[in-house]
Amino acid sequence: MGDEGPGDGDRALLVRASWDGAAFEAFYRRYVRRVTAFAARRCRSADDVADVVAQTFFRLIEASSRYDPERAAPAAFVLGIAANVAREVDRGHARRDALVSRLSGRDLLDGDESERVEAAVDAAHQARDLGGALDAISPAEQQMLRMVAAGHTPGQAAQQLGISAGAARVRLARARAHVRSQVSGEAATTTEIEE
């Protein structure tokens, strides 16, 4: 051992690290600060540094079985793994940032979609457990209510029925008012019809 260089002990530890837990632990203790400092210069946050250090040594367990002491010093080998992990973390941030950028400032539902969702929710609530209440409204009102319940906006239903959007809204309001009155047992009021 007298003619070994300063890195020879590290080389031997690294060669054995994949199958010898004590060798891995000794190597880890010798290099964890260096890998942490390396990661700290390349990462955005302390959490990222911790992730890079943990992933570096996790990958080192498998990679150490492929380590060739003739090709690289142990420090270069472990810091090469750390550099790859840091790049992956940075690419992950870039992908998340791009996604946030694409989604930010965008309404998830535009006005027509919002109206469609609200109308569909209302119609679905009304259609639940109605039984005979639907039979008490006119076929035109039933058709309008069913189209809205199926996800069409009143405007889309109007186009498919060949009527004006105003007529469609009136049919839908009347259908809702009649169904409400049937379900609650009350007479439909003018106020409900004008909704």
Last residue of a domain, one of 103, 125, 159: 103
Residues in contact with 117: Cβ distance below 8 Å, sequence separation at least 6, in sequence order: 109
With residue 157 as reference, give the H or E element that holds it: helix 154-161
pLDDT for 147 equals 84
Verify that 95 and 21 share a domain, yes or no. yes
Q: Using alpha carbons, select from 182, 122, 132, 130 the residue that is nearest to residue 152.
A: 122
Number of domains in the chain: 2
Question: Comparing 103 with 47, which gets the higher pLDDT?
Answer: 47
Cβ(153)–Cβ(119) below 8 Å: yes
Cα 191 from Cα 101, distance rounded (Å): 46
Domain membership of residue 1 (yes or no) is: no
Residue percentage of the chain with pLDDT more than 70: 79
Q: Are residues 77 and 115 in the same domain?
A: no
Residue 68 has pLDDT above 90, yes or no: no
pLDDT at 52: 94
pLDDT band at 2 (very low <50, low <70, confident <90, very high): very low
pLDDT of 179 higher than 60 = yes
Q: Which of 53, 70, 103 is the last residue of a domain?
A: 103
Same domain, 90 and 129: no
Label residue 128 by pLDDT band (50, 70, 90): low
116 phi, psi to nearest 5 deg? -65, -45
Q: The CATH number of the domain where 89 resides is what?
A: 1.10.1740.10
Range of 84's domain? 8-103
Q: Which of 32-41, 109-118, 183-192 has the lowest mean pLDDT?
A: 183-192
- Write the pLDDT tens digit of every residue in 18-38: 888 898 899 999 999 999 999
Tell me the per-residue pLDDT of 145-166, one tens digit each, with 9 for 90 and over. 888 888 888 888 889 889 998 8
Residue 3 lies in a domain: no
Decide which of 127 and 187 is more confident. Answer: 127
Give me the pLDDT at residue 127, please: 61
